[in-house]
Amino acid sequence: MPSCPWRNPLWGSRLRGVIERIEPVGASAATITIRPGLTWAGHVPGQFVTIGVDVNGVRHHRCYSLISLPSVGRGARMQITVQAAVDGVVSDHLVHHASVGEIVQLKPGRRRVHPV
Query: Would you give the DSSP letter of residue 95?
Result: I
Query: What confidence tens digit (pLDDT) does each residue in 33-84 have?
Result: 999 988 888 887 778 999 999 999 999 999 999 998 887 777 789 999 999 9
Closest CA to 77 of 2, 116, 23: 23
* Residue pair 91/62 in contact by the 8 Å Cβ criterion: yes
Backbone phi, then psi, for 43, in 5-degree steps?
A: -150, 165
CA gap 33, 38 in Å, rounded: 16
- Local structure of residue 28 (DSSP, 8 states): S
| Digit-coded pLDDT (tens) for 11-30 | 555 789 999 999 999 999 99
Mean pLDDT of the chain: 84
